[in-house]
Structure 1
Amino acid sequence: MFAAIIMVTVGFIQFCQGIAAVADDEVFVRGIDYVYKFDLTTWGWIHLVLGALVAIVGLALFTGAGWARVSAIIVAAISILANFLWLPYYPAWSLLIIALDVVVIWAVSTWNPDQDLRDGNFRSTDTSTR
């Protein structure tokens, strides 16, 4: 649940960051030229799409489905890459998002639903199985 909440939050904020980059290029500092430099409007659209994708996968992660867990790891890894490339424009924010994405990957990849059942951490209305 923690990873899903973090993903939805990060996706929403990345979406807002994309809106800021598309709407007003003067919000971000333009530094020196880099090999992977795109126009800020292009970066804005990348963050809009990525933010929406992260939020959607975060919502799907609430179901606990296997495909949602795999998708969450893939999307978080893509988000790490995009924010690494975004570092010259907004370094503090990029490092924060990278750290949160690493936490999401860790939380999703170490969660074992079978262990929760063995430990008795389940919600059941049937008390005869206890």
Structure 2
Amino acid sequence: MATQRTGMSQGTARGGMAVSGWTLFAAIMMVFGGVMAIFEGIAAIAEDDVFVTTRNFSFQWSLTGWGWLHLVLGIVVTLAGIALFSGAMWARVVGIALAGLSMIANFAWLPWYPFWAIMLIVIDGFVMWALCVGPSRDARA
């Protein structure tokens, strides 16, 4: 039995907004990266001896300050990732901006926890790429 096309893509949400596979991927990665940043922030706020600090680094901010920054940024990134499940264009734009901010924050975080920071930078790069691909390209595939 052949299916009829109704003008809506297969990845259409109930609200009428297209949720492509790439948008879904970006939403999941943003929620994952945001939760990781929340844990990173909590660890930096709670225990200053968890992280090793280097001397004479350009970004001389207290570890507790970095912890609060990552905690707040992680919460906002997680909420934006949840909003991406709706497929709204504003959520895509906010997601790209927040992924960029998260990349910058994690680049500055490299001296304290390099492996974790690099992992979050890579996740944010994939999120930005997935959000820039857009639903129109995914619908053609």
- TM-score of the superposition, structure 1-length normalised? 0.86
After TM superposition, give the deviation of residue 112 of structure 1 in Å: 2.5
Unaligned residue ranges in structure 2 (runs of 5+) = 1-23
Residues 1:47 and 2:70 are matched in the alignment: yes
Q: How does 1:37-116 map to 2 (within 5 A)?
A: 37-113=60-136, 116=139
Please name the residue that 2:21 is paired with: none
Aligned-pair identity in percent equals 47
State the aligned residue count: 118
Unaligned residue ranges in structure 1 (runs of 5+) = 120-130
1:100 partner SS: helix
- Per-residue displacement from partner, 1:68-102 (whole Å, max 9, x unpaired)? 00000000000000000000101111111000100
After TM superposition, give the deviation of residue 114 of structure 1 in Å: 7.3
What is the Cα-based RMSD across aligned positions, in Å? Answer: 1.3
After TM superposition, give the deviation of residue 36 of structure 1 in Å: 1.4
4+ aligned runs moved over 3 Å, structure 1 = none
- Larger helix percent: 1
- TM-score of the superposition, structure 2-length normalised? 0.80
The amino acid across from 1:9 in the alignment is F
After TM superposition, give the deviation of residue 33 of structure 1 in Å: 2.3
2:53 partner SS: coil
CA distance in 2: counterparts of 1:70 and 1:79, whole angstroms:
14
The amino acid across from 2:113 in the alignment is Y
The amino acid across from 1:59 in the alignment is I
